[in-house]
């Protein structure tokens, strides 16, 4: 983890200004300094889509399946929805959606083959649902550079949509964590298996450290956060909770900062491929463990059962919510989306 931030250009610490939570969106926020005067004037008037990120440390847990089908559900509700494939090294949202006519995508935007993201939107089989594909010919775009990421985030604001859902790749690379952190709604997908649970905890730790690092305003604080990421640090800080306690001991200002960062970090946990009631309990157990050991609230928002219909929908390249909306798993997805929208947790069984 120590390799994580040393190279970081200081400008990236403005990244959080690109996106605001629902409550913050109403507040007046100073426009980023890089904007022209004209852009600054319109900045606070701009309405933008709600930005959701779907991440999770492990590959193959169902991030793309969930992004696709949550997107279909929102579009069926009459919302204008854009699915954005940010798994640039292993994009497959286009396959989940059965979109074959891909003449441009995110990578073309990053390579400046077109200027406005809106131009990259591809219609899907579902009315109101559009794709910004991650499929690519150029292999060197899998890890966008800092300036490319900033341009992408800046242009995202201009897309005319109600929701933009970002499908993230597996792992805890900086780009993945940054897209996750900048989202208004952060969906963390895990399956009830030890390897996935382990990776989800790692993703939670990494994204929280990354968030707190991005919001740190003094070099001393940034150094402390960086140091804490190394398990053998001299302060003996091993977890986000211990880092937060350490900050609180540094005085009222740091104590307020720690409190703000804890409040800001609210990912929603989704369990996929659930097979039993005991599997569902894993979600509640993870919620409890995050609070106890990390000092962080991770809300268990819902689960989706394991079902062969998913494989069939992938083989047929047609989203499950189009093929079998009334199936048991279709109902799971509807319940899950309801919980996300109403910010409800799964009641204990």
Ligand X SMILES: Nc1ncnc2c1ncn2[C@@H]1O[C@H](COP(=O)(O)OP(=O)(O)OP(=O)(O)O)[C@@H](O)[C@H]1O
Which residues lie near ligand X (CB under 6 A)?
Answer: 59-65, 87, 90, 169-170, 272-273, 304, 306-307, 310-311, 314
Count of residues making up the chain: 349
Shortest Cβ 60–Mg ion spacing (Å)? 8
When the beta carbons of 74 and 168 are compared against Mg ion, the nearer one is 168
C-alpha to C-alpha distances, 194 to 78, 190, 198, 283, 296, nearest whole angstrom:
38, 10, 6, 12, 20
CA dihedral 203, 238, 299, 46 (to 10 degrees): -60
Taking the C-alpha atoms of residue 331 and residue 321, their distance in angstroms, rounded to an integer, is 9
When the beta carbons of 60 and 123 are compared against ligand X, the nearer one is 60
When the beta carbons of 64 and 185 are compared against ligand X, the nearer one is 64
When the beta carbons of 175 and 261 are compared against ligand X, the nearer one is 175
Shortest Cβ 344–ligand X spacing (Å)? 21
Contacts of 138 (CB under 8 A, 6+ apart): 107, 111
Q: Is the dihedral of CA 207, 215, 13, 131 positive or negative?
A: positive
Shortest Cβ 169–ligand X spacing (Å)? 6
The interface partner of residue 310, options being Mg ion, ligand X, none and the CB cut-off 5 to 8 Å by kind, is ligand X
When the beta carbons of 65 and 300 are compared against ligand X, the nearer one is 65
Task: Give residue number: closest CB to Mg ion.
Answer: 64
Question: What are 129's strand-pairing partners?
Answer: 81
Shortest Cβ 54–ligand X spacing (Å)? 8
Shortest Cβ 274–ligand X spacing (Å)? 8
Binding residues for Mg ion, total number by CB under 5 A: 2
What is the widest separation between alpha-carbon atoms in the chain?
A: 59
Closest Cα to residue 304, out of 343, 341, 339, 274? 274
When the beta carbons of 228 and 305 are compared against ligand X, the nearer one is 305
Closest Cα to residue 336, out of 124, 189, 129? 189
- The verdict on 64 binding Mg ion (CB under 5 A) reads yes
- The verdict on 313 binding Mg ion (CB under 5 A) reads no
Residues that bind Mg ion (CB under 5 A): 63-64
């Amino acid at each position: 983890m120590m390799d994580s931030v040393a190279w970081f250009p200081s400008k990236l610490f403005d990244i959080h200004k690109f996106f605001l939570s629902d409550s913050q969106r109403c507040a007046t926020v100073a426009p980023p300094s890089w904007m022209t005067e004209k852009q600054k004037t319109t900045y606070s008037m701009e309405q933008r889509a709600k930005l959701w990120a779907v991440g999770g440390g492990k590959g193959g847990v169902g991030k793309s399946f969930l992004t696709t089908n949550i997107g279909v559900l929102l579009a069926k509700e009459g919302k204008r929805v854009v699915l954005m494939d940010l798994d640039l090294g292993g994009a497959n949202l286009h396959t989940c959606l059965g979109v074959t006519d891909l003449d441009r995508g995110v990578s073309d935007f990053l390579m400046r083959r077109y200027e406005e993201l809106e131009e990259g939107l591809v219609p899907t089989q579902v009315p109101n649902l559009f794709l910004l594909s991650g499929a690519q010919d150029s292999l060197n775009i899998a890890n966008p550079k800092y300036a490319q990421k900033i341009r992408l985030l800046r242009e995202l604001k201009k897309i005319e949509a109600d929701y933009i859902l970002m499908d993230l790749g597996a792992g805890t690379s900086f780009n993945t964590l940054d897209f996750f952190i900048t989202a208004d709604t952060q969906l963390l997908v895990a399956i009830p298996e030890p390897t996935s649970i382990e990776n989800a905890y790692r993703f939670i730790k990494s994204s929280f450290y990354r968030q707190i690092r991005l919001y740190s305003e003094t070099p001393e604080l940034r150094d402390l956060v960086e140091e804490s990421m190394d398990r053998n640090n001299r302060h003996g800080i091993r977890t986000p909770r211990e880092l937060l306690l350490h900050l609180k001991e540094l005085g009222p200002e740091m104590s307020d900062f720690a409190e703000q960062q804890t409040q800001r970090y609210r990912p929603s946990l989704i369990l996929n491929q659930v097979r039993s009631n005991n599997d569902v309990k894993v979600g509640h157990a993870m919620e409890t463990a995050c609070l106890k050991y990390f000092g962080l609230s991770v809300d268990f928002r819902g689960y989706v059962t394991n079902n062969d219909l998913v494989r069939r929908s992938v083989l047929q390249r047609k989203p499950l919510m189009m093929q079998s909306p009334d199936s048991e798993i279709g109902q799971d997805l509807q319940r899950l989306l309801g919980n996300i929208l109403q910010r409800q947790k799964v009641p204990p069984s």
